[in-house]
Amino acid sequence: MINQEMKKAVLDNFEKVFGKNDEVKAYFAPGRVNLIGEHTDYNGGHVFPCALTIGTYGAAAKRNDRKLRFYSVNQDRLGVIESSLDDLKPSDKAGWTNYPKGVVWAFEKRGMKLESGFDMVIYGNIPNGSGLSSSASLEVLTGFILRDIFGFEVSNQDLALIGQYSENNYNGCNCGIMDQFAVAMGKEDNAIFLDTADLSFEYAPISLEGAKIVIANTNKKHKLTDSQYNARRSMCEEALAVLQRSLDIKTLGDLSIEEFEANKNLLTDPDMQRKAKHAVYENQRTIEAVKDLKAGNIEHFGELMKQSHVSLRDDYDVTGIELDTLAQEAWKIPGVIGSRMTGGGFGGCTVSIVRDEAIEEFKKTVGENYRKKIGYDATFYTVEIGGGPEVI
């Protein structure tokens, strides 16, 4: 569901900023929301994200020199940020352009060298810092543009891996594969049941008859690279190393709940034990949730969403008062099937499945109670499940 106004704006801005160019094309890559399976993607577990109809629009054209010129409609006060193919190092002054530059760098690492630079304008309608993957959307969009204008042979799944590689190694955030995979491989009206251990996946149709997905944004900014995200990941890696001394496992996702419970005392640090418990239990919840969905048992799916949030709060310790308030207020409302935090945590958004007749009440009551407790407003979006990147 392409937003024609966004498409027009990105093309108009390209002409205004870089001049008329007959070669320019417009592109789109979605944001994503994860329905269940949080902080499992770097633990070899399952995730269940879907692409959204909001995302990042881009307009781009090849140049005949080695310059890279970037312009964001969302951050127009920054003007054009210029770089070159001979200067592919991350820097503070490059700001947001470190994401597209990181993708160019990652393409070159794979032997796909650009013969010339390009001009690029972007315009996103994913709320910034919301945890709906604006960075993964921008990475996949960039990779998709490079493939299109330079003719590289690379699959959408490779675009996801390249995006993740650049975020890990160029931008310094040790994220798993989920965000980029959901963006690159999105399919309308389907979520993706992905096993992050081997990237096997299946599309699962989402049929929410009489209900919709509602995102609630805490409007508390979070920056994953500066947050506790990398610390959580290291602790899970330590827990895995300890368990591997006694068990034949490759990832925490290999453990059933029973196996974990029988061996958890090997983890003598209580905090480490809780973090590992979340990774194991959340993986099993995700597998169960997809079975529920296939069987049409949406009520139990909602119950598992709630359990997921409680585990992220009590065991993984990544929620915070803003996300907890949104989830807890949502659970009180009749017509809310399920609600939980989504994304890395420490701010960002909750995702809720809400019956159509309860949506207005949900937004009003949760919004009022959030404002009373937190002191500023949350923002609500009713979203639809969209497809992957495309030329528009």
Helices (H) and strands (E) in the chain, counts: 11, 13
With residues binned 3-state (H G I as helix, E B as strand, rest as coil), the percentages for the chain, rounded to 5, are: 45, 20, 35
145 is in which domain, residue-wise?
4-206
Q: Which residues contact 291 (CB under 8 A, 6 or more apart)?
A: none
| pLDDT for the residue numbered 157 | 97
The answer to whether residue 287 sits within a structural domain is no
Residue 176 lies in a domain: yes
CATH number for the domain that contains residue 171? 3.30.230.10
Amino acid of residue 23: E
> Does some domain include residue 117?
yes
* Residue 148 falls in the annotated catalytic set: no
Question: Tokens 């991350």 sit at which residue?
Answer: 90
Taking alpha carbons only, the member of 55, 305, 342, 49 closest to residue 201 is: 49
In a domain, 144, yes or no: yes
- Strands 118-124 and 67-72, by their bridges, are parallel
Q: Which residues contact 108 (CB under 8 A, 6 or more apart)?
A: 88, 114
Q: Does 339 map to a domain?
A: no
Query: Residue 349 domain-assigned?
Result: no
What is the total count of domains within the chain? 1
The yes-or-no verdict on residue 226 having pLDDT over 70 is no
pLDDT exceeds cutoff 80 at 297: yes
pLDDT for 224 beyond 60: no
Among 231, 247, 240, 249, CA closest to 267: 240
Q: Which of 41, 119, 179, 195 is the catalytic position?
A: 179
Q: Tell me how long the chain is.
A: 392
pTM equals 0.91
CA distance 231 to 250: 20
User: Would you say residue 68 lies in a domain?
Assistant: yes
Judge whether residue 247 has pLDDT over 70: yes
Lowest pLDDT segment from 46-55, 73-82, 228-237, 262-271: 228-237
Residue 95 lies in a domain: yes
pLDDT higher than 80, residue 221: no
Does residue 250 carry a pLDDT above 80?
Answer: yes
Tally of CB atoms within 10 A around 231: 11
Question: How much is the mean pLDDT over the chain?
Answer: 95
Mean pLDDT of 353-377: 97
Q: What is the pLDDT of residues 311-332, one digit of tens each?
A: 999 999 999 999 999 999 999 9
